């Protein structure tokens, strides 16, 4: 695996790969990697001839009171994991390389970034779409893979790619979970032992709602009530939001007719965690299964 730290070298490498006729797959990350990130690299490798993963903790997507300074980092371990996953290039720019003096251009995706996480993190998605647009111009991928774990981010990036005519295929990959159901996240490293246990209320809330829909419930308030109850019953948890939305527009739904997204954000102590699941009347599939069903390869990946 080659490590590249400058924009110029990255663009040069990608131009050469393209000139050889190679298809470039790309996985952007903020590092402190886990099996969820590795699954994205695996997915990119299936869809491309060469794979680039980036690690960049992007200051632009952190709010003033958020965890930028203490965001976990372990570049040696990350390098080892990416090498094991047979990544071809690790792109590792620093903040000065990404945002040199005088930087003042941003990319904003409007409506779909206002709700859900946008309510408590009003500048977050602008930071994400700006850095991803820049990374796309640096890595020049044919295909880029993002996790459904950050569902609103995935929808915003699809929107940006469509609206700004980036010639890049966007793939959404299923959420990878710990054995007990907790969605993997670099931020899980912040959790104390009691908090780690309390954090199970997210996946348990999703499961309760899934079961309700499986029994034929279609009323959004009742479905949300089932998920909220499990979270509010957990003393270490504080609900940010629980929402049932259309997976394409992210607008609230009141009745479950076709697949809907149940999205959660919950503070466990000082750590804010998110999780989500697609619910449908026909099949209340695990998100791991979403990859095998039409949802990933059909509807969710081709809409927008
Ligand atoms: P991050 O490093 O947290 O910015 O995430 C980088 C990419 O990994 C994003 O596309 C995330 O959606 C994805 N990701 C994070 N956690 C998971 C997970 N548990 N399963 C699948 N993808 C994930």
- Model pLDDT for residues 179-200, shown as the tens digit of each residue: 999 999 999 999 999 999 999 9
Q: Which atom of ligand 1 is nearest to the CA of 149?
A: 12
* Rounded Cα distance, 194 and 21, in Å: 52
Calculate how far, in angstroms, residue 274's C-alpha sits from the geometric centre of ligand 1: 11
Q: Which atom of ligand 1 is nearest to the CA of 177?
A: 19
Q: What is the DSSP letter of 183?
A: B
Q: Pick the residue with more confidence: 240 or 295?
A: 240
Q: Tokens standing for 32?
A: 């402190």
pTM: 0.94
- Give the binding-site residues of ligand 1, using a 6 Å CB cut-off: 29-30, 36-37, 39-40, 146-147, 149-150, 173, 175-176, 183-186
Mutate-to-test residue for ligand 1 from 59, 147, 175, 286, highest number of ligand atoms within 8 A of CB: 147
Nearest residue (by CA) to ligand 1, atom 18, is: 36
Instruction: Flag whether pLDDT at 304 surpasses 80.
Output: no
Can you give the pLDDT at residue 283? 53
Instruction: Flag whether pLDDT at 22 surpasses 80.
Output: yes
pLDDT in tens, 191-250: 999 999 999 999 999 999 999 999 999 999 999 999 999 999 999 999 999 999 999 999
* Rounded Cα distance, 273 and 239, in Å: 10
- 156-to-247, 274, 279 alpha-carbon distances in Å: 11, 16, 20
Whole-number average pLDDT of the chain: 93
Residue carrying structure tokens 């071809």: 88
Q: How many CB atoms lie within 10 A of CB 269?
A: 15
Residue carrying structure tokens 């246990």: 197
Can you give the pLDDT at residue 144? 99
Annotation says 37 is catalytic: yes
Contact assessment for residue 45 and residue 24, using Cβ atoms and an 8 Å cutoff: no
Q: Span 6-34, mean pLDDT?
A: 98
Percentage of the chain modeled with pLDDT above 90: 91
* Rounded Cα distance, 165 and 143, in Å: 14
R_g over Cα of the chain: 19
């Amino acid at each position: 695996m080659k490590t590249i730290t400058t924009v110029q070298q990255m663009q040069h490498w990608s131009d050469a790969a393209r000139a050889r006729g190679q298809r470039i797959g790309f996985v952007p990350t903020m590092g402190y990697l886990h099996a969820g990130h590795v699954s994205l690299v695996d997915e990119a490798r299936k869809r491309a001839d060469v794979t680039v993963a980036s690690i960049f903790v992007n200051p632009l997507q952190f709010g003033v009171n958020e965890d930028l300074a203490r965001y976990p980092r372990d570049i040696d371990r990350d390098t080892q994991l990416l090498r094991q996953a047979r990544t071809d290039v690790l792109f590792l720019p620093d903040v000065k390389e990404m945002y040199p003096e005088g930087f003042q251009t941003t990319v904003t995706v409007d409506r779909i970034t206002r709700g859900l996480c946008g309510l408590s993190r009003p500048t977050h998605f602008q930071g994400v779409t700006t850095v991803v647009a820049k990374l796309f111009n640096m890595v020049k991928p044919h295909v880029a893979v993002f996790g459904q774990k950050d569902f609103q981010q995935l929808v915003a990036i699809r929107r940006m790619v469509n609206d700004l005519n980036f010639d890049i295929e966007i793939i959404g990959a299923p959420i990878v979970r710990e054995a007990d159901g907790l969605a993997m996240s670099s931020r899980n490293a912040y959790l104390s032992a009691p908090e780690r246990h309390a954090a199970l209320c997210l996946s348990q809330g999703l499961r309760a709602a899934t079961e309700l829909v499986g029994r034929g419930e279609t009323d959004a308030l009742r479905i949300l009530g089932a998920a909220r109850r499990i979270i509010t019953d957990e003393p270490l948890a504080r609900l940010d939001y629980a929402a049932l939305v259309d997976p394409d527009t992210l607008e609230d739904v009141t009745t479950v007719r076709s697949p809907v997204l149940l999205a959660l954000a919950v503070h466990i102590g000082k750590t804010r965690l998110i999780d989500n699941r697609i619910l449908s009347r026909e099949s209340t599939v695990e998100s791991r299964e979403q990859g095998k069903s039409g949802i990933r390869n059909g509807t969710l990946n081709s809409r927008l």
